[in-house]
A and B are shown apart, each in its own frame.
Chain A
C-alpha cells in the first residue's frame, strides 16, 4: 500500500491551473491537489478545464483531489449567501467530475462567534441541510466530499469554539447527513494548532479519512510550513496513516518561497522541489 506525495497547486498560484500542473509534473511531483484559487479560475470555464485535462494526460500527473471554494459558508444563517455558496460549490463539484477528480475538500462552515445554543442549533441545521444537498450533487457526479476539520479560534479572552474544532464534530456531521459521499480531510496544521494528538485523530477517522492536508507549525499560529519547519513529529503521523490503511494522496498544503511577493519561477521551484524531498522523506519514516 503506497501513499502518493502530492502538492496543492497554490504553490504556483500565479500560474494558470494547467501551467501549475505542468510545472509540478516537471519537478517530479506524481500528484496534485488543485487549490481553491485555481478551482475558482476553473469554475464554469470549460476551455480552461480542457487545458487542465490535456496537461494531466500529457504529463501523467494525477489529480485525486481539489479544494472546493475556500470561503464557502454552508452553515450561514443568511439564506441568500448560503445559496450562493452552495451554487459555487456545486459548480466546483462539476469541475471535479469533468476532470475525473475523485475527492473535493471543503470546510464545514459556521465561522463567526456563536452567542447562544439556539444559534448553534440553527447553524447545525443549515449545515446538515447544505451538506445533504451537496452530497446529492456529488453522488450524481460520482465525486466524494471530504470535510476538513478546523480549529477553535483565538478571538476573545478565552478564544471561541468553532464547529469542526474536533474530528468528532465532522464524524458526527457525516453520520447525521448519512451519505456515502461524505468523509473527512485531516489537516495536520489545524490539528496541531488545536492541541490534538494527530495520530489519535487519524485513527479515529479510520475509513472515513479520504484526504489529507499536510503542513507544519509550532502550535501557535496556522502557518502551514513545509513539514520539518515546525514542531510536529511526523513518524507517529505516518504510522497512524499506515495503521488505518490510508492509501490516498499525501497532500502538502504548504506555503512557498515568496521573497517579497516577487519570487521568480525558479525560486518557487526551489521550494516545491524541497517540499517533494520532504514528502518522500516523511513517507520513508514508516
Chain B
C-alpha cells in the first residue's frame, strides 16, 4: 500500500455507510476510514454490511481503517461503563474483521481529571487490563489496533493532563501490552494543538505508526480543518512520513456537518482530495 489520499466517511455523516462510500468513490477517493458514526450503524444493523461491501467493490475503495467507538473510555473507573465500552469496541473489531479492515483506531481512555498519583496509577492499571483484553480479541480476529494521541485539556486554571497527549506514552503502552497488535494513530490536529513537533513525533513513532488522522488547526482549538487552512507546515510532515517508510493511507479526519447542505459537503470533499493530491505529489 502507498501513501494515498483517504477520507473518513463522517464527511457524509447523514448518509448511510454505503451511500457515503458511493459519494466518495464518485469523487475519486480510493481509500476511507469508516467513521465511528458509520461503525455504529454497521454494529447495530446487520443489513448494512452487504451494500457497504458492494459499494466498496464497485468503486475500488480500500476499507483501510475504522474509527472504533469514539467515546469509549476503556480506563473508566466506572466498572459498568468500562465494560460496556469494551464490548462496543469488540463489536467494532468484529466489524473490521468481517470487512477485512486491517486497523481499528481507538482513544486511550482515562478522560476524567486525575487528582493524585495513586489515582493515576489505578487508571493506568485499568487501561492496561482493558488493552490486554482488546489486544487478545484483535489478535484472534486478525485486526490491529492503533491508539490515537489526544491533547491535554484546558479545564481548570492550569489545564489538565491526559494520557496519550504525547506519543511516548502510547509507545510505552503498546510495548507493555502487545507490540504485535497495538500501534499508534497520529492525529495531527491534536498534536499541533498540544504543541508537538509533528515531524519529530512521526519519526519517534517510526514503524509503530499504523494510522493517520490528518487535519489542520491554528494551535488554539481542535478545528479539524482541511490541510493548509491552519498553521501546520505540511511539507515536513509528508517528508517525515516518507522518511519512516509509512505506507498506509494519508487519512483525513475532517468532519462533515449534520444539517449541512450536501452539495457544499461534496465540494468540500472534492477540494480536500485536490489538496491531498497536491500535498502528496512528489514534483
Instruction: Please give the residue numbers on chain A whose beta carbons come within 8 Å of chain B beta carbons, in ascending order.
Output: 220-221, 223, 225, 227-229, 231, 233-235, 255-263, 266-267, 270-271, 274, 277-278, 281-282, 284-285
Contact residues of B between 194 and 243, Cβ < 8 Å to A:
220-221, 223, 225-229, 231-235
- Of B227, B234, B260, the residue contacting A228 (CB under 8 A) is B260
A259→B221 contact, CB < 8 A: no
Ranked nearest first, the 8 interchain pairs of A and B with the lowest CB-CB distance are A260-B233, A228-B264, A257-B228, A274-B271, A259-B228, A281-B263, A259-B234, A277-B267
Known contacts being A257-B275, A270-B271, A270-B275, is A228 close to B261, with CB within 8 Å?
A: yes
A234→B261 contact, CB < 8 A: yes
A263→B268 contact, CB < 8 A: no
A278→B275 contact, CB < 8 A: no
Find chain A residues with CB under 8 A from B221 CB: 220-221
Is B265 close to A, CB under 8 A? yes
Is B278 close to A, CB under 8 A? yes
Find chain A residues with CB under 8 A from B234 CB: 259-260
Alpha-carbon distance between A270 and B275 when the two chains are bound, in angstroms: 8
Report the minimum CB–CB distance from B214 to chain A (whole Å).
Answer: 13
Would you list 26 pairs from A and B whose C-beta atoms are within 8 A, ordered by A residue? A221-B220, A221-B221, A225-B229, A228-B268, A229-B226, A231-B260, A233-B260, A233-B261, A257-B275, A258-B231, A259-B228, A259-B233, A260-B231, A260-B232, A260-B233, A261-B231, A267-B278, A270-B271, A270-B274, A274-B267, A274-B274, A277-B271, A278-B267, A281-B261, A281-B263, A282-B264
Known contacts being A260-B231, A260-B235, is A229 close to B225, with CB within 8 Å?
A: yes
Residue of B nearest to A231 (CB): B257
- Of A255, A257, A278, the residue contacting B264 (CB under 8 A) is A278
Query: Which of A233, A256, A277 is the most central at the interface, judged by chain B CB atoms within 10 Å of its CB?
Result: A277
Alpha-carbon distance between A50 and B174 when the two chains are bound, in angstroms: 65
Residue of A nearest to B259 (CB): A233
Find chain A residues with CB under 8 A from B263 CB: 281, 284-285
Find chain B residues with CB under 8 A from A220 CB: 221
Alpha-carbon distance between A212 and B233 when the two chains are bound, in angstroms: 32
Report the minimum CB–CB distance from B11 to chain A (whole Å).
Answer: 11
**Extra A-B contacts (12), CB below 8 Å, given A225-B229, A257-B229, A271-B271:** A228-B260, A231-B257, A233-B259, A258-B229, A259-B227, A259-B235, A263-B228, A277-B267, A277-B271, A281-B267, A282-B261, A284-B263
